[in-house]
Amino acid sequence: MDKNKYNLLVKKYTPKESRLYNGLIAFIVGGLMGCLGQLLLTLYSYFLEIPTKQASVFMIITLVFLGCLLTALGVFDKMVSFSRCGLIIPITGFAHSMQSAALEYKREGLVTGIGANIFKLAGTVIMFGVVSAYFFGIIRLIFMGG
């Protein structure tokens, strides 16, 4: 079989990923995550009688807890492979990256395994966040005066 035929054959049997379908799923799942956040925000500020700003702390902790727990149970990876960015972009993706790193390196021990690798994936988010916030903060100080 010559190379061209082989390439055609491979192309024929590679599963096609529809970008429209992926985008739609990410839109719906991400939107539902936003609604869940707003729902938790309303519930916490109503039942605990606290201002919205404090309720947002509870909301973020709840979502991080759910992300970590579902990752540890092994459910979250299946959900991510279905919804892609719909669950990676929300704060649950941050929790997922830390939890999966912690689980993956558990066998290498507490210090050299979990401790050294827990920020392996989430570290980029924190580093770029801090660096950009620092320099944009200086820009904001210059142009807006704080």
Partner 1 sequence: MIYLNSFLFAGTVCLIGQLILDNTKLTPGHITSIFVVVGSFLDVFDIYDKFVLWAGGGALVPITSFGHLLIHGAMDTVNNFGIMGLFTGMFDLTSSGIVAAIIFSFVFALIFAPKD
Spatial separation of the C-alpha atoms in residues 120 and 101, rounded to whole Å: 7
Is 22 a binder of partner 1 (CB under 8 A)?
Answer: yes
Site size for partner 1 (CB under 8 A): 77
Residues 84-103 that bind partner 1 (CB under 8 A): 84-86, 88-91, 93-95, 98-99, 101-103
Question: What's the closest the beta carbon of residue 137 comes to partner 1, in angstroms?
Answer: 5
Asked whether the CA dihedral 135, 98, 26, 32 is positive or negative, the reply is negative
Is 128 a binder of partner 1 (CB under 8 A)?
Answer: yes
Is 109 a binder of partner 1 (CB under 8 A)?
Answer: no
Closer residue to partner 1 in complex, CB, 1/111 = 111
For residue 48, give both structure tokens. 């605990």
Asked whether the CA dihedral 26, 60, 96, 73 is positive or negative, the reply is negative
Contact 37, 63 (CB under 8 A): yes
**Using the rule CB under 8 A, which residue among 57, 108, 109, 112 binds partner 1?**
57
Is 29 a binder of partner 1 (CB under 8 A)?
Answer: yes
Count other C-beta atoms under 10 Å from residue 98's C-beta: 22
Closer residue to partner 1 in complex, CB, 9/108 = 108
27 contacts: CB under 8 Å, gap ≥ 6:
86
**Using the rule CB under 8 A, which residue among 31, 48, 82, 109 binds partner 1?**
31
Is 50 a binder of partner 1 (CB under 8 A)?
Answer: no
